[in-house]
Structure 1
Amino acid sequence: MPDRTGPDDTMDAGYPAVPGPTPAEREATLHEVARAFFPDATAMLPGSPGDHLLRVERPGETWCVRRWRPGTNLSRIGFVHAALRAAHAAELDAVPHVATVPAGFTGLTVAGDDRAVVSRDGAFFDAQSWVSGRPLARGLSFVNTGGEHPNVPAPVLRAAVVETATLLARLHGAMIPALDREDRPAMALGRLGNVVDQTWRAHQHRLGPAAPLDPLVRRWRTAGRRVMPLALDLVGERGPREGDGHDLVVAHGDLWPAHVMSDRQGRSRGVSGIIDWTDATASSPAIDIAQLVAHFGGWRADTVEEVLGAYVAVRPLSPTARRMLPAVAALDLVAEAGYLLILANQEEVQRDGRDLRDVREGAEMLIQSLEILASVLAHGEVRAPRGARPWVRWTPPA
């Protein structure tokens, strides 16, 4: 998951303000980069109300040019590209293709050995194909100070969640070759615990003045105080480490309904792809599985059962990863619910009744799951319905 920790005076925790060029200059740069990748482009349209994406049409194809988040290093972009290419090498077209700048182009700085990244004004840009379909749900209508749409959870049909679990398992298996990179970004679960612990403390400080007046903040703080010691203990001293023989995959790391595309297939719709791999990292599959359950309708024992069943039907999942799942989900929810509550207390969000409603409804959905997980972690098992498969039950690792 992205690091939601930021300086206390940052408007968006985890997304520092972007200094420098004006919005018009930033848009002009996107167009310039798009022409470098696609000299034969026939149309260029904003990829979203934010200013970091540009949709590019060329004969028979649609692409998306992206300005990467400030502070992103070239090795991370190379890792993401390697993972996407590995998926396509395994004949999985459910993720974007990566474009390269045509040979002979000299107008901008082309970074990397494969000519897939352009550098301009201290920022990195790439171009990826537009995955067909529509997202299962959309992010918020406003953009944060990083020029991006904050994501929110949404109720998603169980069939789509299970289908996404199957696709995730296939992608996790197909992207394994990208883990051979020496410069791969990694997020061991112990480190994840440390990051969320810092985020938890920062969020409490930011939300302290709102706590007496906001019941959602009080619920978040109460549930967080229950889960944090238990979850940190599980993923820290007793959790798995990267490279110690446990599962290691290319985790999406920030999976929300807005990132899963659905396309019509006859009279029904099916999951057509997963987009926005900018936070991909070498980590446990428990991160993606936890986010799939918690962000796509909320934590329910029967959903956990079906998601795990669909996943392990494609690729194995170690007992340790299964046991870590509630702790990883709880950590994710502490960070993400707190982030949405911070957004809900910002003036520009409060001025728009629809935005405020969407943010608070999203925060409440996450907090409800967090409260359920507080009980799960305290009692040592997921209370599944009768007949549940054994992997739904959870006991702390020895």
Structure 2
Amino acid sequence: WHLKLSARQEIYGSAKNAGTGGVHDMGQLIPSRDRRRIIGEYTLTTEDILTNRTFPDTISHHRSNFDAGAHPDTEMFLIKDMKGPVFTCDMPYRCVIPQGLEGILVIGLGASADRDAMTLVRMQPDLQNQGYAVGTAAAMAVLRARGKVRDVDIKALQRELVRKNCLENRVLEDMDSFPLSANTVQEAVKTLEGLTIDVHQKPEHDDTHKALAVVISHPQESIPSLRDAYQKSTEPKVKLNYARILAILGDQTGKETLVEAVNKAPNWGKGWDYSNQRKYANTFGPIDRIVIALGFLNSAEVHAPLLEKLDQLTLKSPLSHYKALCLALRMNKDDSLAEPLADFLKAKKLKGHTQRLSYYNEQENQKNVYVRQGVNTKGGSMVNNKFKELLIASLLFECGDYQNLGREILQEYTKDVNGHFAEYAHRVLSEGTAISYIGE
């Protein structure tokens, strides 16, 4: 509603000033690529996609790249970016059935998939087929299963979809391809010797995509082999990559390697701001990814190297550095971090980027002084600066706050013109955190 209020004022105000009168109205639905999703009977994951997992209840096929409109947050993408290559996947019927509810099916952007997986399964042609499949399932539930969507004859549904060329014939015989064999896991660990952190911007073959998905989806089976590969490796880059994977899987075998890598990095290196240029932005740089892995160690030992990296940041530093550091520190937060974070906010001129929604200024008889700006193709400095301030202030508040600074900044952001920032700030203040998972 923040977006709608500010847009209405700007449209009416600009028209009035131009002498053309006001506009009649504006659209009531705000289109977006990322929306709330159900928790379904099954949640499709990025690992499912990259391992070509099959299911006994597939109802739609999907094909695209990981068209991310924001920085990634699933474990796989914290290790390696998947931009560029085109992948295909299946979605099972269980992904459209909300847990705990009967008589309802949810499709499209509301279906059950992790955030990064959804960027691949939301393409219009695939969702048209999915909508047809779910509509058919709903009709079958009413006609043959007393309205109970879980009692639909899946094979009968699939046969109809195959007949309509919505599904491939093979789905009639498909079973769940998980768990994968021990040999497949072993081969995946070996393949990861060639892992890179590079951003792949062109469709190309990369065996480490699937290999990484295999080990992330089979942690217990993979960790012993990963430890062995780490111990035997003599190449520093290979050893570091195994250390990163182990850390994100919750294993501290490579802790010394990660700490050393962060300490030896003279600066943050390459990073990215938030931008609508999804092919080239909204991802993490090499040092960002090492910092994130360090955070997964869940040890107070990581405070010192991470605070040193904090001191290297400025207002002009890319947003990915801030997101990486805040994620790492949040996983290791305690009261000792509050004062350094407060000092950073003040010393690096990170405060004061919020822009009050005109509604609040009118309520308090204050003049509206902001000019609303979008995110341009090169990345909007206004939005990115707000993002940075809000991330640090939220982390400060979660660490116990210091001289009420975090609370004051968050309270200002609850009235910000950018509704997502306002909602985020409100949730931190009311619930103590806005993070329900590892991502920002």
Indicate the structure with greater helix content.
Answer: 2
Q: TM-score, normalised by structure 2?
A: 0.26
Q: Which has the higher contact order (CA 8 A, sep 6+)?
A: 1
More strand by share: 1
Q: Which has the larger radius of gyration?
A: 2
